[in-house]
Amino acid sequence: MRLSGFSDEGADRAVLDVTSSASGRTWRDRLDAVGAARALGLAQRLDLPEIVARVLTARGVDAEAALAFLDPTIKDLLPDPSIVTAMDTGVARIADAVERGEKIALFADYDVDGATSAAVMRRHLLALGADPIVYVPDRLIEGYGPNPEAIEGLAGQGARLLVTLDCGSTSHEALAHARRLGLDAVVVDHHGCGVELPPAAAVINPNRHDDLSGLGHLSAVGVAFVTLVALNRELRRRNFFAGRREPDLLSLLDLVALGTVADVVPLVGLNRAFVVKGLQVARRRGNAGLAALAAVARVSGPLSPYHLGFLIGPRINAGGRIGDAGLGARLLATDDPVEAERIAAELDRLNKERQLMEAAMVEEADAQVVAHYGTDPGPVVIASSPDWHPGVVGLIASRLKERWRRPAFAVAFDRGELGVGSGRSVGGVDLGAAVRAAVEAGLLVKGGGHAMAAGLTVARERLDAVRDFLAERLAAGVETALAERSLAVDGALTARGATVELVETLEKAGPYGSGHPEPLFAFPAHRVAFADEVGQGHVRLSLSSGDGASLKAIAFRAAAEPMGKTILGARGRPLHVVGALGLDHWQGDARVQLRVVDVAEPRIRGL
């Protein structure tokens, strides 16, 4: 069966003639006719299912690169670490500290990338005979990055080398204070920074202006891993391992995979290898903390990128958002199963508390937007409250962006007239640049970020002026983004064709995420045999094809949205459905499940 919009009916034809789905999007074939022909050739040459070949071709993988792409290796993709600016200087200083027995302090960020960076570095340094201090700042009290007070405390504990992880590239004052106290600093980071760098023995950051390594897509834990590869090499050169075993860096790849997925960096090149090989390590459940988190998250079957990004990661982040920011790093660094179970249980409790807090805040924020602007809030949505927790505003902004399909900010004025806010953007709208412009215009106390996410500090009296400024600056980009709303579809399947074997083959073309989008498939005119609301606003359903085959599916957080309402209203009727396939492991059996991302009512041609 050939379906409208899939390669044979012209590049402009909407898939299944869907020009306005339940979420207001046009469905487009991810491949044009030329791409479809290449996919067919790839399938024939490598004996792959055509649907898998379509996925690879749509992501720029040709026949020559396909085999290596399907099995990426660290060995083939890891460059010489010395190409990273300041790498050799930095690892030489760390090696000196290891050899001399100096006290090393690790100062890490409070998110998953920071926690995994700290755990990887601490585990490796312990294996080298060092016993580093790990310090994670309190998000609300200390804020992001090193601060003089914390550094004084670390110096008081005897630290002589400070290694910052996932932070430090812009910490001029704090690292100058460290130098005055007699501490050398080595920065291991991946965030953007200015031309002027802080006073440190080395700033190892592939995103500094004078770095030509091409590794700017790595997460901080990825940079930390490359740094440890270089450290091992330097210690090997010094004959440090004569008479002692060299630590196995590959055993830490489970944590590298977790940080890479959770930080939403592009899953291309070395990052793909980190995640593919890291998942293989993670599935052995050798890390006590990761195993304990998987248990409390009720993960059944092998760990996947979905588990890392949506079940494990949020629990680690919960500590930094509303609890003890150091819990995640301690959990991932411990080998004590009892301690791991205790910390995992606490993080699970904090995550549930965070979810309840988030749900209440989202409801209030949405009502606030409707009350102020009705159904058309303009180019940007901004909601605020004195009762919101600053650690959760980023999540609220993300929900508002999804709900209103435009850039959104949530601001917490929990400490009076000065509010802390977080923003999330839509594709094609650079939010970070707009926030920096507002700072330059004197409207914000401070702010910054990148295209898709930004943070700000604003006086309450300036909030309306900031909203007007951002609305004017972002109007054209938002209008274009709304006009070009489309959903890229990789191919069409039926319920019978969505087999475990197909999903397992598709997983070999993963992991999917930022820079390597997960494949989406259309299921044309499948009857909604069952649909009901479950959990916290999810919709569970069963789809039936014309040949009697069925497919279980779920639409997350959709019950109150147009998509969920369309599904619930289509019980017993056919519906076009687009979603991502995955495996649900239950009692040892793997079953295919569809995660629904959009639906549309079938059109009758001629009407």
Say how many domains are in the chain.
Answer: 3
In a domain, 295, yes or no: no
Contact status, residue 150 vs residue 135, Cβ threshold 8 Å: yes
Cα(433)–Cα(429) distance, rounded to whole angstroms? 9
Q: Tell whether the model's pLDDT for residue 92 goes beyond 90.
A: yes
pLDDT digits (tens, 9 = 90+) for 2-46: 455 565 545 568 999 999 999 989 999 999 999 999 999 999 998
Q: Tell whether the model's pLDDT for residue 588 goes beyond 60.
A: yes
What integer pLDDT is reported at residue 605 of this predicted model? Answer: 54
Q: Tell whether the model's pLDDT for residue 264 goes beyond 80.
A: yes
Residue 454 maps to which CATH number? 3.10.310.30
In a domain, 604, yes or no: yes
What integer pLDDT is reported at residue 607 of this predicted model? Answer: 44
Do 458 and 511 sit in the same domain of this protein? no
Of 435, 468, 485, which residue is a domain's last? 485
**Mean per-residue pLDDT over the chain, rounded:** 92
Q: Tell whether the model's pLDDT for residue 389 goes beyond 70.
A: yes
pLDDT band at 593 (very low <50, low <70, confident <90, very high): very high
Q: Is the link from the previous residue into 511 a cis peptide, with omega within 30 of 0?
A: yes
Do 166 and 308 sit in the same domain of this protein? yes
pTM to 2 decimals? 0.87
One DSSP character per residue, 75-92 reads HHH---GGGSTTHHHHHH
Of 438, 464, 485, which residue is a domain's last? 485
What integer pLDDT is reported at residue 1 of this predicted model? Answer: 40
Do 125 and 184 sit in the same domain of this protein? yes
Q: Tell whether the model's pLDDT for residue 314 goes beyond 90.
A: yes
Q: Tell whether the model's pLDDT for residue 303 goes beyond 70.
A: yes
pLDDT digits (tens, 9 = 90+) for 399-421: 999 889 899 999 999 878 899 99
In a domain, 384, yes or no: yes
What integer pLDDT is reported at residue 454 of this predicted model? Answer: 86
pLDDT digits (tens, 9 = 90+) for 156-203: 999 999 999 999 998 999 999 999 999 999 999 998 888 999 999 999
Q: Tell whether the model's pLDDT for residue 271 goes beyond 70.
A: yes
Residue 563 maps to which CATH number? 2.40.50.460
Domain that holds residue 104: 77-276+302-313
Do 162 and 94 sit in the same domain of this protein? yes
Angstrom CA distances, 229 to 119, 163, 233, 281, 520, stand at 16, 16, 6, 18, 37
Do 502 and 526 sit in the same domain of this protein? yes
Do 518 and 413 sit in the same domain of this protein? no
Do 407 and 497 sit in the same domain of this protein? no
Mean pLDDT of 216-236: 97
Do 473 and 550 sit in the same domain of this protein? no
What integer pLDDT is reported at residue 606 of this predicted model? Answer: 46
In a domain, 475, yes or no: yes
Do 427 and 499 sit in the same domain of this protein? no
36 burial level (CB within 10 Å; 0-12, 13-18, 19+):
buried
Cα(379)–Cα(467) distance, rounded to whole angstroms? 10
* Other Cβ atoms within 10 Å of 295 Cβ, number: 15
What integer pLDDT is reported at residue 437 of this predicted model? Answer: 92
Do 461 and 396 sit in the same domain of this protein? yes
What integer pLDDT is reported at residue 482 of this predicted model? Answer: 81
Do 127 and 202 sit in the same domain of this protein? yes
Do 538 and 417 sit in the same domain of this protein? no
Cα(551)–Cα(591) distance, rounded to whole angstroms? 9
